[in-house]
Amino acid sequence: MDVSEVSGVPPWFADHLREEGIESLYPPQAEAVEAGVADGQSLVASVPTASGKTLIAQLAMLSAVSRGGKALYIVPLRALASEKREEFAAFEEYGVSIGVSTGNYEDDGEWLAEKDIIVATSEKVDSLVRNGAPWIGDLDCVVSDEVHLVDDPNRGPTLEVTLAKLRRVNPNLQVVALSATVGNAEVMAEWLDAALVDSEWRPIDLRKGVHYGQALHFDDGSQQELRVKSSEKPTEAIVRDTLSDGGSTLVFVNSRRNAEGAAKRLANTTTGWLDDEEKARLAEIAEELRGVSDTETSDDLADCVEKGAAFHHAGCASEHRSLVEDAFRDRLIKVVSATPTLAAGVNTPSRRVVVRDWRRYSGEAGGMQPLSVLEVHQMMGRAGRPGRDPYGEALLLANSHDELDELFERYVWADPEAVESKLAREPSMRTHLLATVASGFADSREALLEFLDQTLYATQYRQGTDGTDNLERVVDSTLEYLRANDFIEDDGERIQATNLGHTVSRLYLDPMSAAEIIDGLEAASNPTALGLFHLVSRTPDMYELYLRSGDREEYTMLAYERESEFCGDLPSEFEEERFDDWLSALKTARMLEDWAGEVDEDEITERYGVGPGDIRGKVDTAEWLLGAAESLASELDLATVPAVREARKRVQHGVGEELIDLAGVRGVGRKRARRLFDAGIETRADLREADKSVVLGALRGRTKTAENVLEAAGHQSPSMDGVRPDEGARPAEEPTDAAGSDDGEGQSSLGDF
């Protein structure tokens, strides 16, 4: 089908596609058009990666905009939201306005009302619905990317309920659900009252297979010699072979440690394939990576990147991951070893994908468990992109002939598992039932059941095998919990959220987290920072640090030493599970205390066995939860409000109490605040009136940094022209920077952003 034959889209779109080199639609795209995607019809598109799912979304959204409507594009990750924002920005020259929203769950997003296409994460859309975003009712088209993630036990229920709410608000809403791997696409289509395009067509060939012995064994029965030298491991041999054909490789492993170890080994393979220009550009990227954080992770990653390899996992800072992804897309980095974080939609195509580890440790199972077919197929789908590769290959590794047969049966020839709703899990149901009542979607038990009848859970599981109504059972037990904690009230017929319930929903808290925080604040008359950090760390909304071997004894001693600081009673050691949870929360709180105590980031990563990305995640979560605790304390008129506010600001900036005011100045951050304080500049007001030579000395002679900081503080004359640094104010432990240039030092701390 020629692009000009598509009706409904704006006239300029066909010309735009031709400028992009697209003259005709791929078969799945043509099927979507025939199913009415450009005419406002709902659609589930289950088609392989690189087969044009995004264009299907664009056809739906732009046709809605051309009819005077508004479109929403829902993504699972913030990184993917930024990527799609950049992609859709090309439409702005044709008068289509684009907005993106991913953070601040208390914002109602009113500014987005003027945008034609809005890109947001499912959590953000859920919070916008809760906070009454005025434009939600104006939506004509909603695209849900990576819709198979409704199967995810943590994030899936939010996407599921959000889609149900959007359809409830807009009865004629067009829903376009996209996925590369849905084992039960017809059930998804039934749930969304949508047409189905279920295709296996790809624009370039993707061969799946297994490396065993000295050969690649493919799904079509063919074999290809790929010899492993005596000094090599199979992954290194595959990377070497791919490089010889000008391709890149993405290697999936099962842990962060394995990702870093593999990258270091593979760097020895890639370094010999770099030309002088690539080495120079990679050296520049390596310097940027070293500047992201003062940690071993930054240095190790930079060392690998200089040689053309990289690792990618959740312990890396977001800046680490972005730099690696961009350089890999530009084919400067030749191989990336990654945990499955990189399989979730971010555009990182490669010639070959190697699923090195197909088992992963499971705490629930108490051992190694095979990955799901769906997850492995998501990884495999990263191989090959039209215009970039002549083909794609996805490979698993076998150590025996029996394992070769097993891998073909388990993954290569297998269909992905059915996507299943996880909405009935307690944390999900209590969170979303409260939000549904608080936001006015339902005001009775019957109305709740009627609303939930529009979810995937109801489509799949409403009727139990014993004839009972599963939905009624789960709803009744959840309402009982919310009622017992004073989040809802009812008179036997009408259910409504209490003031407290409205606050909890608006704050985007799990009601159990809110109950834990309230109980803790009411039990603490004068809480310390550690006590408050521990309180939020033991809520369901915080992922606690894992207790390693030997940690139990250390943190048990710490718990008794600082028992008086806790917000609530220390459980008995005989309540083993509860006691261990308390200690895990204490380890997390101690890490936050170190951060707020200005301990260097590299020391924190070493002490707790975490990466800079983990620190950033814990700090962000603690800041959010302490902000919520502050709101709850105000709602309940508790005397702990000032203590909670101070703890929030300390963790936000990573500083001691005396630096809070100074660290809040844009561009200062934790390290520069300490230098300025030590030079006698203790507050924002001091900085506003400070002697410029003292400021320049404290900031190590960096004129640009000093000017920016003074301007942010409101200094009348921030210019450093003719100013010489006061050497007496220069940090004694740091060397003189003769050049006086701003090389970015001091920006590496998380608190500087």
Task: Spell out the domain ranges in the chain.
Answer: 3-198, 206-412, 426-506, 511-654, 659-752
Q: Which CATH superfamily is domain 3-198 in?
A: P-loop containing nucleotide triphosphate hydrolases (3.40.50.300)
Angle, CA of 271, 277 and 283, to the nearest 5° = 65
CA-nearest of 314, 431, 380 to 78 is 314
Distance CA 175, CA 64 (A): 11
**Which residue, chain included where needed, has tokens 């309940």?**
636
Which residues are CB-contacts of 147 (< 8 A; sequence separation ≥ 6)?
A: 44, 159, 177, 178, 179, 182, 188
CATH number attached to the domain at 206-412: 3.40.50.300
CATH number attached to the domain at 511-654: 1.10.3380.30
The mean pLDDT of 321-338, rounded to a whole number, is 95
Query: Is the sign of the CA dihedral 462, 467, 470, 476 positive or negative?
Result: positive
Q: Is the pLDDT of residue 311 over 90?
A: yes
Distance CA 563, CA 734 (A): 39
Angle, CA of 428, 179 and 152, to the nearest 5° = 25
Q: What φ, ψ does residue 677 adopt, rounded to 5°?
A: -60, -45
Which tokens belong to 175? 């829903």
Which tokens belong to 253? 């492993």
Q: C-alpha distances in angstroms, 205 versus 183, 208, 223, 240?
A: 21, 10, 16, 21
| Class in CATH terms, 426-506 | mainly alpha
The mean pLDDT of 499-507, rounded to a whole number, is 95
The mean pLDDT of 726-730, rounded to a whole number, is 90
Q: Say which range, 113-122, 161-170, 339-348, 735-744, has the weakest mean pLDDT.
A: 735-744
Distance CA 46, CA 49 (A): 9
Label residue 349 left, alpha or beta by phi (over 0 means left) and psi (-120 to 50 means alpha).
beta
The mean pLDDT of 321-345, rounded to a whole number, is 89
Asked if residues 119 and 78 have their Cβ atoms less than 8 Å apart, the reply is no
The mean pLDDT of 691-708, rounded to a whole number, is 93
Distance CA 618, CA 105 (A): 17
- Return the H-helix or E-strand segment holding 176: strand 174-179
DSSP characters for 91-116?
GGGGT--EEEE-S-TT---GGGGG-S
148-161 pLDDT, tens digit each = 999 999 899 999 99
Q: C-alpha distances in angstroms, 188 versus 329, 344, 416, 459, 615?
A: 32, 19, 14, 9, 37
Q: What is the per-residue pLDDT for 342?
A: 73
Task: Give the burial string for 494-524 (b: 16+ CB within 10 Å, else e).
Answer: ebebbebbbbbbbbbbbbbbbbbbbebbeeb
Which residues are CB-contacts of 587 (< 8 A; sequence separation ≥ 6)?
A: 544, 545, 547, 551, 555, 608
592-649 pLDDT, tens digit each = 999 999 999 999 999 999 999 999 999 999 999 999 999 999 999 999 999 999 999 9
Distance CA 125, CA 145 (A): 13
DSSP label of 24: B
Which tokens belong to 678? 């030590």
Q: What is the per-residue pLDDT for 161?
A: 96
Intrachain domains 3-198 and 206-412 with the same fold: yes
Asked if residues 97 and 113 have their Cβ atoms less than 8 Å apart, the reply is no
* More confident: 172 or 367: 172
Q: What is the per-residue pLDDT for 733?
A: 59
Asked if residues 174 and 42 have their Cβ atoms less than 8 Å apart, the reply is yes
CA-nearest of 228, 196, 232, 236 to 212 is 228
Q: Mapping DSSP to helix (H, G, I), strand (E, B) and coil, where does residue 747 land? A: coil
11-62 pLDDT, tens digit each = 999 999 999 889 899 999 999 999 999 999 999 999 998 889 999 999 999 9
